[in-house]
Amino acid sequence: MALTAGIVAIIVIFSLLPMARLLQEVVLPGGSFSLDVIRSGLVSNTTWVATWNTLCVGLGGTLFALVMGVAVAVLVSLSDVRHRQAFVLCFVTPLMIAPQVTALAWLQLFGPSSPMLNMLGMAPPIGTPNPLYSPEGIVLLLGIQYAPLVFLIVRAGLRKLPRELVEAAQSSGAGWFTVLRTVILPLMTPSIVGAAALTFVSCVGNFGIPAFLGIPANYLVLPTLIYQRLAGGGPAVLSEVAFLSVLIGVIAMVGIVLQDRISKRRDFRITSTSLPAAPYQLGAWRVPVELGMWALIAVILVLPLLGLILTSLVRGYGVTLSADTATLENYRFVVFEHAAASRAFLNSLYLSAAAAAFAVFAAIPLAYVIAWGKQRWIKALNLAVELPYALPGVVLAIASLLLFLKPMPITGIQIYNTVWIILYAYLARFLVLAVRPTVTGYFQLDRALEEAAQVAGAGLFTRMRTIIFPLIAPAAIAGGLLIFMTALCELTVSALLWSSGSETIGVVIFSFEQGGDSKYAAAVSAIMVATTFLLMLFASLFAKRLPDGVLPWRD
């Protein structure tokens, strides 16, 4: 009973309550029913322009990510290419890097201030606009950011592809591309459609890339419109931005519903349980294919990061980088001298660690009920846990603002304009990242040990403490590490919730770039990329002790 009460309390506080408060602000502003907020939002031309832009970059980024992610998943999973593990680690890395860092890194490759182009003597004249300041640039970077997400989902589906279906088609004389077109891709339709829906939601809710690339070009999408309205109007415009947040949520949910409808139109179930399909022998094509795959890594990962690092070493705008002009002064400044940057490092570290620790301990009982519970409400519980992460982050940020704008009832505690409201949003948004791998761990755990302890008279909390926690802790901790890495450089939520003294690293990077201090933004970003990569390598050391699929970059 106590376990159920605790789980219900977590779901209500971190999922249902903020969403209910957001809807209340739209349909019950001031406590009475009114459609004025909806009416004023719908008649605004700016709203429709931003909505159209959101749909354009969302669909464009999704299509780009699908093409790249599916192609790479097929090559990695179904061919005999070598060095798969190293390639997967590199290909998935952009997904683990914050979107604003990705945008900043790519911006340093082009334009008149590019250190790399300056070194090569290819930089355009001063005053030339960066070509990435455009809708096409946003689509390009959204596709690169989320192609690894498509890859991970489709690769998981390809692992279940039965060998006999592929071999039957090949024995009938079908070539590899015919097998791919008539057997493999049709069976992968649920995975591809699911990846498309999740990618679309991620693109629609992305703030970092449209902010860095769209705001300078006056190309607004809904998340950046909300940011500008909130920055210019403060709490007075909360009802207006609440409507815009609900509009983003509706667009995201439409994508999810369409995915569900498409998946149900045909039966894609695979009834066989044979070994996975044998790798296709590329023969003479193996080396060219491998070179092409590593060239892709060079384009989407190495070159942008190189541009980022070079920018972090320049002394000033337009200075040609050389052995004589290179400096580490930018790093010294952001780490030791800039008060907001130093404070942001500590804030992000504490917030990420607190969110990860809470999620690890909350995920174990939550996943216990989801994986092993037989009650009818388990499915609803699972959906409630997924809701804050399934919806774009800007929706949760506005909901948190509305929820804590006034002091909390009874206690009178005020967390608005403090670091605690950011922590609340992190706990709500990222909890599911710990629950998912923990549920996977439960599914791979033999329940006989727990049942034996129950027969021996051990209570639930005794079983959780002495049997379940030691066995399931590695999966939960791996989920906590994913939360730590994701929250460490997060921007979408904190950009709307931060205040003086509660800056996060993502906010500092954004502020530096908006203020024209790209060299400082690049220095902070380079530090965070190095930290993320080291955390990924550290987690990989313990991969053998974790359930399959817990670390997305590991087989």
Cα 171 to Cα 142, 161, 165, 176, 273, distances in angstroms: 41, 17, 10, 11, 20
The chain-wide mean pLDDT, for the chain, equals 85
pLDDT at 456: 82
The residues facing 276 across adjacent strands are: 162
CATH topology of domain 1-38+327-554: MetI-like fold (1.10.3720)
CATH topology of domain 44-269+296-310: MetI-like fold (1.10.3720)
- Predicted confidence (pLDDT) per residue in 406-434, tens digit: 887 777 788 988 999 999 999 999 998 88
Nearest to 367 by CA among 388, 382, 387, 384: 382
Q: Where are the domains of the chain?
A: 1-38+327-554, 44-269+296-310
Give the mean pLDDT of 336-359: 93
The residues near 500 (Cβ < 8 Å, ≥ 6 apart) are: none
How much is the pTM?
Answer: 0.88
Confidence of residue 175 (pLDDT cuts 50, 70, 90): confident
Same fold, 1-38+327-554 and 44-269+296-310: yes
Confidence of residue 65 (pLDDT cuts 50, 70, 90): very high
The residues near 503 (Cβ < 8 Å, ≥ 6 apart) are: 340, 343, 344, 347, 511
Q: How many CB atoms lie within 10 A of CB 134?
A: 16
- Predicted confidence (pLDDT) per residue in 225-260, tens digit: 999 988 887 777 888 889 999 899 888 888 877 776
The residues facing 162 across adjacent strands are: 276
| Residue spans of alpha helices (H) in 265-328 | 286-297, 303-313
